[in-house]
Amino acid sequence: MKRPVRDLVSATLLRRLTFANIVANVVIVVTGGAVRLTASGLGCPTWPRCTDESYTTTAEMGVHGVIEFGNRLLTFVLVLIAGATLLAALAHRPRRRGVVPLAVAVVLGIVAQAVIGGITVRTQLHPSIVGIHFVVSMLLLLAAYALWRRVVEPDGRLVSVVPSALRALVWITVVVSAAVVLVGVAVTGSGPHAGDADAVRNGLDPQTISQIHADLVFLLVGLTVGLWLALRAVGAPARAVRAALVLLLVELAQGVIGFVQYFTNLPVLLVGLHMLGACLVWLATLAALWSTRTAGPARSDAPPPHQPTDHEVVAAAHPAG
């Protein structure tokens, strides 16, 4: 007797696949950074072929060709993981609302990244295209994280678990975190690690744009400290307080790496760690955002979960003695 689909595609398998999407997208950001930091950006000088005659690297291309071609191969790994996730989402029963569209978004995002990567090579590593490549990676992480959270959380109406003022503060923190990433891309485009000795730079003054980047980092850290203290003050759920603290710790670690790399003339190892840190800061920011809301009962006949008012949250945190 044929087993039902729900037994073949378990919720556990779907959760693992969605989490694998997050990990894989972080890994390819780091390996893409390794391509740039080893000056292997044009190790395969054309696209979609590696050379005019071959789709794969050749002995004449040397180690740079191996590094660049290896990074291209990782794209196929991402496609396999994302494709398996989409198939699992389609086959899983009961089908979760919103999971399939997010899984499709991840697949399409990876395909778009492959095309942007090809444009990057064909434009000789122009810094604006390289920057777009990185920004799309951050958007892919957003889609992959949203997909994972949608799978691990129960169905139901989303409600905030913090006062509206704190919800606004969380969103401001998200916007500033995104700004830090965007300005960081500009810093990268002005620096020495172009991916190839002949690649152009964006023409911005490295010291000036680095100072702007540092100022935004200080702002982000300040906002996160304020968020953490405010969440504790109003008695927010432990997961929200913990998410804000994790975000703060990741930011501080990333800040230390950033300052050390700046004052040590950008050694490649620290620059690579900084790229990993950028992914972790972004993911920690998303975790802080998601921690401030929860899903209520999924039953249509169940009353909607009560959303506390600002006054009720504060009163609960400071009961009358």
Model pLDDT for residues 206-260, shown as the tens digit of each residue: 999 999 999 999 999 999 999 999 999 999 999 999 999 999 999 999 999 999 9
The larger pLDDT score, comparing residue 54 to residue 165, is at 165
Where does 153-203 have alpha helices with state H?
A: 164-190
d(CA 139, CA 162): 26
What tokens appear for 229 in the block?
């203290």
Mean pLDDT along residues 152-172: 90
Cis peptide before 127 (omega within 30 of 0): no
pLDDT of 302 reads 41
Q: Which residue has the tokens 């810094």?
A: 127
Give the side-chain half-sphere CA count within 13 A for 186: 17
The larger pLDDT score, comparing residue 2 to residue 230, is at 230
Cis peptide before 4 (omega within 30 of 0): no
- Per DSSP, the residues of 98-110 read THHHHHHHHHHHH
Find all residues with CB under 8 Å of 221, minimum gap 6, and list them: 248, 251, 252, 255
Percentage with pLDDT > 70 across the chain: 89
d(CA 291, CA 294): 7
Bridge partner list, 293: 160
Mean pLDDT along residues 181-198: 87
d(CA 294, CA 96): 16
User: What are the tens digits of pLDDT across the range 15-59?
Assistant: 999 999 999 999 999 999 999 888 888 888 888 888 888 888 887
d(CA 277, CA 271): 10
Per 3-state DSSP, the chain is made up of helix, strand and coil in percentages (nearest 5) of: 70, 0, 30
pLDDT of 106 reads 97
pLDDT of 4 reads 47
What tokens appear for 147 in the block?
């997909």
pLDDT of 276 reads 96
Sheet strands (E) in 151-265: 158-160
Bridge partner list, 159: 294
Is 307 a residue whose pLDDT tops 80?
no
Nearest of 287, 18, 291, 304 to residue 156 by alpha carbon: 304
The domain spans of the chain are 1-155, 157-295+304-321
pTM beyond 0.95: no
d(CA 145, CA 159): 19
* Contact criterion met (CB below 8 Å) for 141 and 105: no
